[in-house]
Amino acid sequence: MSPIAGRTCSRVSCRSAATMTLTYIYAESRAVLGPIATFSEPHAYDLCERHAARLTVPNGWSVERESSTSEGVGPSEDDLMAIADAVREVARTPQESADPSPTQTASVGRRGHLRAVPS
C-alpha cells in the first residue's frame, strides 16, 4: 500500500508515513479504521501501520477495521451504465445548428466550475 505524499502519522512524535485513516462515529460509539483517505479530513486521524495495529478504543466502543483490497476500487457496473445512459441521452437530443450566430460565439458560457472559452 503506498502512502499519499506528505501525509504522516497523526500520533505525536511519529514521523512514519500514514497508511490508514481513523474516524470516530460518536453517535454509535464506534471507531472506523480503513484505507487512507484521499483527502485529509479535519476530524479524521491518519495512522501508520504500527499505530493502526495497536489501536485501542474506550470501553463499550467497537472498532470496525476495513481491509484495503483493490476490490471495489473504481466505478461500479452501475456507475458505468449510468454514464452510458447519459451519453445515449445526449446523443438523442437535437443538436444545435452547425452555423452558430455571432451572439453565440461572442458569449462565454459558464456551468458550475467549468468554463467554455470561445476560440
- Give the pLDDT means over successive 10-residue stretches in the chain (119 positions): 70 92 93 89 91 92 79 71 85 64 52 65
Domain hosting residue 64, numbered range: 1-92
Residue 115 lies in a domain: no
pLDDT confidence of residue 88: 84
pTM: 0.53
Three-state DSSP string of the chain: CCCCCCCECCCCCCCCECCEEEEEEHHHCEEEEEECCCCCCCCEEEECHHHHHCCCCCCCCEEEECCCCCCCCCCCHHHHHHHHHHHHHHHHCCCCCCCCCHHHHHCCEEECCEEECCC
Residue 119 lies in a domain: no
Structure confidence at residue 48 (pLDDT): 93
111 lies in some domain? no
Residue 100 domain-assigned (yes or no): no
Structural domain contains residue 76: yes
Assigned domain for 114 exists = no
Asked whether residue 7 is domain-assigned, the answer is yes
Structural domains of the chain, count: 1
116 belongs to a structural domain:
no
Query: Is residue 73 within 8 Å of 44, Cβ to Cβ?
Result: no
Q: CA torsion angle for 26, 31, 32, 36 (degrees, to 10)?
A: 100
Q: Are 35 and 20 in contact (CB under 8 A)?
A: yes
